[in-house]
Amino acid sequence: MSSDVRFTDFKSDKQPTWCPGCGDFGTMNGMMKALAETGNDPDNTFVVAGIGCSGKIGTYMHSYALHGVHGRALPVGTGVKLSRPDIEVMVAGGDGDGFSIGAGHFVHAVRRNVDMTYIVMDNRIYGLTKGQASPTSRSDFETSTTPEGPKQPPVNPHALALASGATFIAQSFSSDALRHQEIIQEAIEHDGFGFVNVYSPCVTFNDVDTYDYFRDSLVDLKEDGHDPTDYEAAKTVILDADKEYQGVIYQDENSVPYRDQHGLTEDMSDIPAGAPEDAMDLVREFY
Amino acid sequence: MAEDLNWAIGGEAGDGIDSTGKIFAQALSRAGRHVFTSKDFASRIRGGYTAYKIRTSVDEVQSVVDRLDILVALTQRTIDENTDELHDGSAIIYDGERSWDADVPEYVTGVDVPLKSLAEDAGGAIMRNIVALGAACAITGFDVEYLDEALEKRFGGKGSKIVENNKEAARLGEKYVEDNYDLGLGYDLETTDNDYVLLNGNEALGMGALVAGCRFYAGYPITPATSIMEYLTGRIEEYGGHVVQAEDELSAINMALGSARAGARAMTATSGAGIDLMTETFGLVAASETPLVITDVMRSGPSTGMPTKQEQGDLNMALYGGHGEVPRFVVAPTSIDECFWKTIEAFNLAEKYQTPVFLVSDLAMSVTEQTFPPETFDMDAVEVDRGKLVDEGDVEEWLDDQGRFRAHADTEDGVSPRAIPGIADGAHMSTGLEHDEIGRRTEDTEVRVQQVDKRNRKVETAREREEFDYREFGDADADALVVSWGSNEGALIEALDSLEKEGVDLRVLSVPYIHPRPDLTAEFEAAEDVIVVECNANGQFADLLEHDTLTRVKRINKYTGVRFNADELAEEIKAKLTEEVPA
Ligand SMILES: Cc1ncc(C[n+]2csc(CCOP(=O)(O)OP(=O)(O)O)c2C)c(N)n1
Ligand code: SF4
Ligand SMILES: [Mg+2]
């Protein structure tokens, strides 16, 4: 990886079509800066994008990338990383993509602890389909499909991650550019599954979880003196439903990534031009 | 064909039926005899009954028949289940000391052997099935020493004492029969110096994947696909690969897709409901032009159906599964050894044409073991063709005027260059959205048409470049043409042999390529009768061939959950030949 990579190298020449003011602009900028800052370049980076407004990120960034099926971004990222330990893998998608249709994969991706970064662009709404309730929407949040609100509690992504055995859990806010980038950098550098939920406001369909709301309510865990290696402290933060916060909530310093658990070191793209030398041994097993 | 012997052991689940049967099959194979085993037959009464059948001959055997010569019955139920197939030269080995009173049909010879007591003499009652194997050796004139190697293979891991006890148990069984019976049933199993290996379709398929360079497998357990995953686990690592047990099939196929995009040869395999879940991603594999092998080991459906029973009901799913129009290859191996070769071919097709390849096998093939000379799996003949994989030097050639890699370039043959992560200047996005040459979303009508045509053209290119031919057996000039796909081939070949003896000549075409497939118009025109044989109720392959050739065919369909056997197939073909062609 070359050291002279600039974050703009991760930018494609396609102009984003997000609504002006959409949180996803800031979320993406932070991702690109963090990737460049951690020494990656587009040819050694694989971005997997979900489906949603958020999923358009695959088009607006420049790298090897796949924009796949709604909810299945994490499995794709897992396949890439396990086959190519040399490639930096970043998966990004919406709150619906990650915690509704893809919730099953989230739990198991967390458990597997594959060394990749997962960015959820959480706007607490379905943006692309024009404003239906998402799994992180408030229980009284009125939408076209939930006129009186969903009447069920929102998913707590951090709690879900912690319960699944996460080794890195963080929260950032797309408009706090410096902290957002810093937090994503830490997730990239974490040796294991780095999960960052990003408040990434939808200015068109969500008039509750707005920039002003987050600016007013966010507590920065770093300033608050929170120790992310303290599991009990992390638990307290995560289960406090009344608070919004940003920062690294939990990090297991003894994280053993999937790669090391399973002794994966090989570049699986490298295969011989014919059967391996000892292939007849496979046949002889059947004597 | 030389005289064949049909042997079976039956009892309750948990009686060690499979492992005992396998030991006998291996011993026969080591003695230079051909073996064909089966576990996939119906219970006539109720669940809980299990059996393992072996057909053996010095000639090649590739089907089950309606006859049973030697039966080891651990329960009365085993006898009752098999009375139809027993004849006046048959023998039943049973343990008269056990609590049940064996009711042996009068025309069959009962051989009462104190299996449990003799096993205890050898070191433990658990070895009673091995005593029975020894008894079977005595009845069939098969040297008990041939069991030794198979016993070492099976019990070697448990220490030499256990192995020796088992060998002793077999000898006690043999001796008991020799000392107490003078049967004169006339069985005398010939042996040869030939070397054979004994394997089932899923093992052949897994071995094919390994030597083809498959390095990543993701799957979710489901009968009868799981044994592919189990075969690869513990072996793929030797080559630097890995098997992941995913949380579901939605994930499994997407993991495999990720691996393939990262440049590995990747595969997933499933069955039944699992292929339904994977359907979600078929279109993405095709649209993103990802080389992926998707294996469906068919079992009886719909829904949970009969999960351990045979059916060839997923042909339409493999051909048409997924919304929109999804270009693809569908390949269905027709025999156990072909499971090996067609898997290798599937990986090559996938990479040469950057298209999903459906490798369609079935339950019967997956659980049946058959003997082959080891050179059937000639590793020097294995070719790996990675298609238009570009390296650093070639990338330049495929950049557009703004330096962007044209991963979906509209080429003459439809196949675009493929750059994998790490290749400088090859970075690009692929997507399930319609896209232009560089992978950007588009709804431009011209580009849309260009990309659809380009993806379809790959399959057309393959039609020209590859040989998607049928396998032919029997009399090429016969008036009667029988066509089949998948695992029915073996039973058909044997039916052919027996019909030939009765003066009925057949031309048999066994078709492993379902899409693209050979055009059979000329063959149908040359025949007076065309019969299509398949294990499903609706005749999915027959429909397809009628459509291809604009000719009505006769159909033989079986959907009991049990594969065809040669005798039954011969009878049905004879009957069909006298029927009118449907209007
Ligand atoms: C299987 C499937 N079901 C439904 C859709 C329609 N759909 C597209 S995006 C989306 C939800 C997007 O919400 P989120 O993941 O929060 O992303 P956002 O647009 O808010 O960034 C849905 C339901 C789809 N593409 N695929
Ligand atoms: S709808 Fe919402 S999430 Fe989508 S681009 Fe507009 S502001 Fe962003
Ligand atoms: Mg959303």
Quick one: which H or E segment has residue B18?
helix B17-30
DSSP states along chain A: --TT--GGGGB-SSPP-SPTT-HHHHHHHHHHHHHHHTT--GGGEEEEE-SSTGGGHHHHB-SEEEE-STT-HHHHHHHHHHH-TTSEEEEEEEHHHHHTTTHHHHHHHHHHT-S-EEEEEE-SSBTTTTSB--TTS-TT---SS-TT---SPPP-HHHHHHHTT-SEEEEEETTSHHHHHHHHHHHHHSSS-EEEEEE---TTT-SSS-HHHHHHHEEETTTTT--TT-HHHHHHHHH-TT-EEEEEEEE-TT---HHHHHT----TT---SBS-TTHHHHHHTT-
Q: What is the b/e burial string over A237-249, where b = at least 16 CB atoms within 10 angstroms of the residue's CB? A: bbeeeeebbbbbb
Give the residue on B whose Cα is nearest the Cα of A42.
B427
Closest residue by Cα to residue B288 from B218, B355, B352: B355
Atom of ligand 1 nearest to the CA of A93: 15
Cβ-based neighbour number of residue B48 at 10 Å: 12
A1 pLDDT above the threshold of 50: no
Strand, helix or coil for residue B551: coil
What one-character DSSP code corresponds to residue B125?
A: G
Closest residue by Cα to residue B249 from B277, B279, B225: B277
Beta carbons of B263 and A78 less than 8 Å apart: no
Q: Are strands A117-122 and A88-94 parallel, antiparallel or unpaired?
A: parallel
pLDDT at B100: 80
Q: Report whether B40 contacts B147 (CB < 8 A).
A: no
Q: Which of A74, A83, A274 sits opposite B383 (nearest CB)?
A: A274
Q: What is the b/e burial string over B495-522, where b = at least 16 CB atoms within 10 angstroms of the residue's CB? A: bbbbbeeeebebbbbbbbbbbbbeebee
The pTM assigned to this predicted structure is 0.97
Residues of chain A with pLDDT > 90: what percent?
A: 97
Dihedral over Cα of B158, B164, B168, B171: its sign: positive
Q: Report whether A49 contacts A58 (CB < 8 A).
A: yes
Cβ-based neighbour number of residue B372 at 10 Å: 21
- Distance (Å) from the C-alpha of residue A42 to the closest C-alpha of chain B? 7
> Atom 2, ligand 2: which residue's CA is nearest?
A202
ipTM of the complex: 0.98
Ion ligand 3: residues, CB < 5 A? A 94-95, 123, 134
The C-alpha atoms of residue A208 and residue A141 are separated, in whole angstroms, by 8
pLDDT in tens, A19-61: 999 999 999 999 999 999 999 999 999 999 999 999 999 999 9
Cβ-based neighbour number of residue A17 at 10 Å: 11
- Token readout for B461 is 């290119």
- Distance (Å) from the C-alpha of residue B264 to the closest C-alpha of chain A? 4
Q: Report whether B495 contacts B526 (CB < 8 A).
A: no
Quick one: which H or E segment has residue B55?
strand B49-57
Angle at CA of residue A141, ends A140 and A143, nearest 5°: 130
Ligand located closest to A201 CA: 2
Q: How many angstroms is it from A30 CA to the middle of ligand 2?
A: 18
**What letter represents residue A205's amino acid?**
F
- Within 8 A of A59 by CB-CB distance, chain B residues are 429, 431, 440-441
The C-alpha atoms of residue B568 and residue B566 are separated, in whole angstroms, by 6
The C-alpha atoms of residue B423 and residue B389 are separated, in whole angstroms, by 11
**What letter represents residue B374's amino acid?**
P
Block residue for tokens 């987050």: A214
Strand, helix or coil for residue B405: strand
- Distance (Å) from the C-alpha of residue A123 to the closest C-alpha of chain B? 23
Beta carbons of B288 and A287 less than 8 Å apart: no
Q: Which residues contact B381 (CB under 8 A, 6 or more apart)?
A: none
pLDDT in tens, A214-265: 999 999 999 999 999 999 999 999 999 889 999 999 999 999 999 999 999 9
- Distance (Å) from the C-alpha of residue B135 to the closest C-alpha of chain A? 24
Beta carbons of A66 and B255 less than 8 Å apart: no
Q: Which residues contact A103 (CB under 8 A, 6 or more apart)?
A: A135, A155, A160
Give the residue on A whose Cα is nearest the Cα of B284.
A68
Angle at CA of residue B314, ends B310 and B316, nearest 5°: 150
Q: How far is CA A103 from CA A66, A107, B22, B201, B560, in A?
A: 19, 7, 43, 36, 39
Atom of ligand 1 nearest to the CA of A55: 21
Judge whether A63 is closer than 8 Å to chain B, CB to CB.
yes
pLDDT at B49: 86
What number is the average pLDDT over the span A204-212? 98
The residue whose CB lies within 8 Å of the most ligand 2 atoms, and thus the one to mutate among A24, A126, A174, is A24
- Token readout for A99 is 């915690």
> Is the CB of residue A201 below 6 angstroms from any atom belonging to ligand 2?
no
Ligand located closest to A97 CA: 1
Q: What part of A 215-254 touches B (C-beta under 8 Å)?
A: none
Beta carbons of A67 and B429 less than 8 Å apart: yes
Residues flanking ligand 1, CB < 6 Å: A 50-54, 70, 93-97, 121, 123, 125-129, 134
Cβ-based neighbour number of residue B75 at 10 Å: 18
The C-alpha atoms of residue B92 and residue B70 are separated, in whole angstroms, by 6
The C-alpha atoms of residue B434 and residue B449 are separated, in whole angstroms, by 10
Give the residue on B whose Cα is nearest the Cα of A262.
B242
B388-392: long-range contacts (C-beta < 8 A, 24 or more apart)? B388/B352, B388/B354, B388/B415, B388/B416, B388/B417, B388/B418, B389/B263, B389/B351, B389/B418, B389/B420, B390/B417, B390/B418, B390/B419, B390/B423, B390/B426, B391/B423, B392/B423, B392/B424
- How many Cβ pairs within 8 Å bridge chains A and B? 212
Q: In what order do the strands lie in the sheet with A88-94?
A: A218-220, A244-251, A168-173, A194-199, A117-122, A88-94, A45-49, A64-67, B429-431
pLDDT in tens, A130-159: 999 999 999 999 999 999 999 999 999 999
The C-alpha atoms of residue B213 and residue B207 are separated, in whole angstroms, by 10
- Within 8 A of B343 by CB-CB distance, chain A residues are none
Block residue for tokens 């690009």: B428
Q: Which of A58, A72, A280 sits opposite B254 (nearest CB)?
A: A72
Q: Are strands B242-245 and B529-534 parallel, antiparallel or unpaired?
A: unpaired
Beta carbons of A43 and B421 less than 8 Å apart: yes
- Token readout for B2 is 């030389």
Strand, helix or coil for residue B209: helix
pLDDT at B41: 61
Angle at CA of residue A106, ends A105 and A109, nearest 5°: 80
Give the residue on A whose Cα is nearest the Cα of B206.
A282
The C-alpha atoms of residue A286 and residue B149 are separated, in whole angstroms, by 12
Dihedral over Cα of B235, B238, B239, B241: its sign: positive
Ligand located closest to A123 CA: 3
pLDDT at B482: 98
**What letter represents residue B342's amino acid?**
K
pLDDT at B45: 60
pLDDT in tens, A98-108: 999 999 999 99
Strand, helix or coil for residue B11: strand
> Is the CB of residue A22 below 6 angstroms from any atom belonging to ligand 2?
yes
At B552, phi and psi to the nearest 5?
A: -80, 140
How confident is the prediction along chain B (583 residues), in pLDDT tens digits per residue?
Answer: 678 999 999 998 888 999 999 999 999 999 999 999 998 666 666 667 899 999 999 999 999 888 999 999 999 999 999 999 999 999 999 999 987 888 999 999 999 999 999 999 999 999 999 999 999 999 999 999 999 999 999 999 999 999 999 999 999 999 999 999 998 898 999 999 999 999 999 999 999 999 999 999 999 999 999 999 999 999 999 999 999 999 999 999 999 999 999 999 999 999 999 999 999 999 999 999 999 999 999 999 999 999 999 999 999 999 999 999 999 999 999 999 999 999 999 999 999 999 999 999 999 999 999 999 999 999 999 999 999 999 999 999 999 999 999 999 999 999 999 999 999 999 999 999 999 999 999 999 999 999 999 999 999 999 999 999 999 999 999 999 999 999 999 999 999 999 999 999 999 999 999 999 999 999 999 999 999 999 999 999 999 999 999 999 999 999 999 999 999 999 999 999 999 877 6
Residues paired with residue B244 on neighbouring β-strands, in sequence order? B218
Q: Which of A82, A86, A274 sits opposite B242 (nearest CB)?
A: A82
- The separation between CA B388 and the C-alpha centre of its own chain, rounded to angstroms, equals 31
Closest residue by Cα to residue B361 from B310, B322, B326: B310
What one-character DSSP code corresponds to residue B32?
A: T
pLDDT at B98: 84
A62 pLDDT above the threshold of 70: yes
The C-alpha atoms of residue A123 and residue B569 are separated, in whole angstroms, by 63
Kindly list the structural domains of chain A, giving each domain's residue range(s) and its CATH number in brackets, ordered by start.
Answer: 7-284 (3.40.50.970)
Mutation for testing the B interface, residue in A72, A83, A285 having most B CBs under 10 Å: A83
Q: How far is CA B119 from CA A96, B74, B142, in A?
A: 63, 14, 20
Kindly list the structural domains of chain B, giving each domain's residue range(s) and its CATH number in brackets, ordered by start.
Answer: 5-196 (3.40.920.10), 199-371 (3.40.50.970), 388-466 (no CATH), 471-577 (3.40.50.920)
A2 pLDDT above the threshold of 70: no
pLDDT in tens, B546-573: 999 999 999 999 999 999 999 999 999 9
Q: What part of A 78-137 touches B (C-beta under 8 Å)?
A: 78-84, 86-87, 104-105, 107-108
Q: Report whether B136 contacts B169 (CB < 8 A).
A: no
Judge whether A3 is closer than 8 Å to chain B, CB to CB.
no
DSSP states along B326-394: ---EEE---SHHHHHHHHHHHHHHHHHHTSEEEEEEEHHHHH-EEEE-GGGG-GGG-B----SB--HHH
Quick one: which H or E segment has residue B216?
strand B214-219
- The separation between CA B320 and the C-alpha centre of its own chain, rounded to angstroms, equals 22
Beta carbons of B240 and A72 less than 8 Å apart: no
